[in-house]
Structure 1
Amino acid sequence: MSDLTLNPAASADAPRYYLREEHHPENGTLLGFWLYLMSDCLVFACLFATYGVLGRSYAAGPSGADLFDLPIVAVNTSLLLLSSITYGFAVLEMQRKRLRATLVWLGITGLFGLGFLSLELYEFAHLIHEGAGPQRSAFLSSFFTLVGTHGLHVTFGIVWLVTLMFQLGKHGLTAPNRRRVMCLSMFWHFLDVVWIGVFTFVYLMGVLP
């Protein structure tokens, strides 16, 4: 980025303005975001480890086999995986410099994300209504913490997505906006990978006797 800056030492022989060069370290931004994702990996690793220790501590209460509705969870998983595919289409359209198509695919991604959150909130409300809230047992405490933390990440991702769509609509496919799209892409795909772990480790293994 370049701009003209007033030269405070300007004189008759010196230029009144000089050209100032500013370079945004694009690789530095992506590296910093990778470091953030690695720190987030540690957070989820701790939550998975906690669930692994407490996941069978039912305190004479219901187990995962009694509570989990796998068809609903499967639909929820499909919504999140489809959102990852649609985000990929948005990135492809961005690389082709098609702003409108990029916004359309980002909007579809956001709708899939909202669908995922809606089903997750429905599941939480149903469990609490059945008396299986996080205070019922160590198993449920670790379950709500792990799945809820992932849900908070998805919520943050949707807020970021909406903000990014406004920025794209206002400023177009500028270099900073393309960089933001790529950072959110890494974050969104990261959430998909974490959810596959949740679906396998928590839900599928949870219904086993």
Structure 2
Amino acid sequence: MTAIKVLLVDDDPLVRAGLRLMLGGAADIEVVGEAGDGSEVAPLVERLAPDVVLMDIRMPTVDGLAATELLRAGEHPPEVVVLTTFHADEQVLRALRAGAAGFVLKDTRPAEIVAAVRKVAAGVPVLSPAVTRQLISRVAGDDPRRDRSRLARQRLAALGEREREVAVAIGRGRPNADIAAELYMSLATVKTHVSRILTKLELNNRVQIALLAHDAGWLPQDEQEARP
């Protein structure tokens, strides 16, 4: 099995040392490099080709949010997991909108950090449905809600009826197997719809689909909140 290559990005050498120690015990993970600032990330990614970048948010020159946006805008970008505290909701949401695969708290248990790296390398966002909903509901983002809703609906208009149903299910935090059961589709068909949604909307991952569905007011809790 090919090892999952990880790049560590944090301005604190002690944090990087701790992460390297945590990940070093996993036979299927290899830490291929470290960076102390977001300005160092793009050249290292080009040279080392990591599968996953563990990215701190606050760094002195270029922060992790800007570095994430830059990476995810390129071709064949690595998955990015933001290292943060849970209180940084607005920053986390910005990172997710930029295409980050999720976030890990800096005080997370070592086994969970290892599991997070494996998940994102396999294409699974590191956000539970409950956490996703909490972030979405607590942070309004940069645009006024009405404008954000209008823009989201315009983008989602490109989807077909079944693709819209799948997008709503993703927004509700449903995994592919549950979506297949709820919508009476085969698992392969669900995966095809997800792939088409990502392509049509030019999104990076399922979290961004969920955010867009929320912005459009497609989720059940949105409908309830909108009632007078």
TM-score by length of 1: 0.27
TM-score by length of 2: 0.25
Greater Rg over alpha carbons, structure:
1
**Higher RCO (Cα < 8 Å, 6 or more apart):** 1
More helix by share: 1
More strand by share: 2
